[in-house]
Amino acid sequence: MGRQAAVAVALLLAGCAPVVAPPRNPVFPTPAPPPPPPAPPRIVAAEFLLSRAPEQGGIAFGTLPPGAQALTLDGAAVAFAPDGRFLVGFGRDHGPAAVLEARMADGRILRQPLAVAPRAWDVQSLPTLRRGTTPTPEFLARRKGELEQIVAARALRSASDGWRGPFAWPATGRISGVFGSQRIYAGERGDYHAGVDIARPTGTPVTAPADGVVVLAAPSPFSLEGNLLIVDHGMGLTSAFLHLSRIDVTLGQRVVRGERLGAIGATGRATGPHLHWAMVWQGQRLDPQRIAPPMP
């Protein structure tokens, strides 16, 4: 008996199992260590040379440097044209600061902090007047469907360059309601006015303020907006025209600045004939008076 065999027998007789060396080629090899995490992107201070200073309810245009692959405002994606042109908007209640970032092809992040100027809004307190009645289940059911149509229309993205401007007034007349105004009923805040109202007689023509595509032409009056029309100007910027007495364009139709869209009316919830013109950019409600030139 060889020496190794003798040792093995002795270990077995002693109640000990011999130590067996692991095979040289195990079935499950030891996994390789994970690769190190990628280096964080290099953040570089930048200036995108916006067309105007950011403010609540306003928009600004800019141009990206060559090689930019993505753009964000406050972390939300912002679309831009092949030539690098883009626009950004700031809602009525946007905070005092924003951050614009562009991701470059070489991995750098160009970052520009923005100061968003506040505005003084027309807020009226009505301490003895309650906000209104409780809506009925029937109204809420109808309203849900209307809001879904509005949200779906504003989510559409058409290949329109109308956003590049310049914008014109869709109608001229007395301004009867301004953007951002709000009432407080017995301590409860009402919804702020999300557009500008132009008081004119029923039948006064309404024209396109800029080129665009019709993304909603209500087949019947909505409960609040009445005959509602929404035009997409591209890059997430839309115009809505409320309370129309008639709509003269169809869904999917391309329109050009100055083309007739319909006529002023008092359909929906309106106390008299007027045009309510509202503008929205990627969910941010904007002030048309900050976008269009002074009314002629």
Q: Are both 66 and 135 inside the same structural domain? A: no
State the DSSP string of 159-222: ---GGGS----SS-SEEEE-TT-EEEETTEEPPPP-SEEEE--TT-EEE-SS-EEEEEE-SS-B
- What is the tens place of the pLDDT at every residue in 81-112? 999 999 999 999 999 999 999 999 999 999 99
Confidence of residue 129 (pLDDT cuts 50, 70, 90): confident
Query: Within a domain: residue 107?
Result: yes
- What is the tens place of the pLDDT at every residue in 248-272? 999 999 999 999 999 999 999 999 9
pLDDT of residue 130: 72
Instruction: Report which of 204, 193, 177, 196 is spatially closest to residue 273, judged by C-alpha positions.
Output: 204
**How far is 11 from 14, CA to CA, in rounded Å?**
5
Which residues fall within 8 angstroms of residue 156, CB to CB, at 6 or more apart? 215, 232
Q: What percent of the chain has pLDDT over 70?
A: 90
Residue where one domain finishes, among candidates 81, 115, 149: 115
Q: Are both 138 and 237 inside the same structural domain? A: yes
pLDDT of residue 292: 96
> Measured between alpha carbons, how far is residue 205 from residues 175, 199, 272, 273 in Å?
16, 12, 16, 12
Q: Dihedral sign, CA of 244, 280, 295, 272?
A: positive
What would the two tokens of residue 172 be?
A: 């001229």
Domain holding 148, by residue range, is 123-290
How is residue 117 annotated by DSSP? B
Query: Within a domain: residue 1?
Result: no
Q: Structural domain tally of the chain?
A: 2
Residue where one domain finishes, among candidates 57, 91, 115: 115
Q: Are both 246 and 163 inside the same structural domain? A: yes
State pTM to two decimals.
Answer: 0.84
What would the two tokens of residue 75 be?
A: 């972390």
Task: Tell me whether strands 59-63 and 85-89 are parallel, antiparallel or unpaired.
Answer: antiparallel
CATH code of the domain covering residue 130: 2.70.70.10
